[in-house]
Amino acid sequence: QAKAERSEFKKTIKQSEDRLRYECEKKKEEGLKNEIDKEIFTKIIKDDRDRYRHQVMELTDRIKRLEREKYDMFMWAKQNQDHCLLEMRKLTRALIKAKKMADEQSHDSKELYELVVRVKQVLHVAADST
């Protein structure tokens, strides 16, 4: 009976060792699988982070470019506005000059007309008296 118990005990130990070995292998496989998953996720996160960083850099460059274009457009508009104001001043002065000349010509024409009317009256009076 001691022999049978001993044999049973050895059998139980063998089964326990086999079960332990199986569990160790299983844990080892799970550990490898987890390590592989960890590496995959780490790479995915790194790739996403790199892609995100690249997009941020592109958008930052685009914003800087748009701000530069906006500034250039503002400077062009300001310069154009200054040029237009200068031209408006020139045209206003020319218009004032032309109006003054037109007023003078109108005055001269009126005086000339009045003189012509007087001359006609004088001639008419002189013709009537002869």
Residue 126 lies inside a defined structural domain of this protein: no
Count of beta carbons in the 10 Å neighbourhood of residue 53 = 10
- Using the Cα atoms of residue 30, residue 32, residue 33 and residue 34 in order, give the sign of their dihedral: positive
- Per-residue pLDDT at 1 exceeds 80: no
Residue 48 lies inside a defined structural domain of this protein: yes
Residue written as tokens 């996160």? Answer: 45
Counting the structural domains of the chain, the total is 1
Residue 5 lies inside a defined structural domain of this protein: yes
Residue 107 lies inside a defined structural domain of this protein: no
> Using 50, 70 and 90 to split pLDDT, how confident is the model at 3?
confident
Convert the pLDDT of each residue in 27-78 to its tens digit: 999 999 999 999 999 999 999 999 999 999 999 999 999 999 999 999 999 9
Instruction: Using alpha carbons only, give the angle 48, 53, 58 rounded to the nearest 5 degrees.
Output: 125
Residue 44 lies inside a defined structural domain of this protein: yes
What is the domain range of residue 70? 1-95
Report how far residue 69's alpha carbon sits from residue 63's, in angstroms, rounded to the nearest whole number.
Answer: 10
Residue 23 lies inside a defined structural domain of this protein: yes
Report how far residue 17's alpha carbon sits from residue 9's, in angstroms, rounded to the nearest whole number.
Answer: 12
Residue 123 lies inside a defined structural domain of this protein: no
The SS3 call for residue 130 is: coil
Convert the pLDDT of each residue in 13-25 to its tens digit: 999 999 999 999 9
Residue 124 lies inside a defined structural domain of this protein: no
Residue-wise burial string across 11-23, b where 16 or more C-beta atoms lie within 10 A, e elsewhere:
eeeeeeeeeeeee
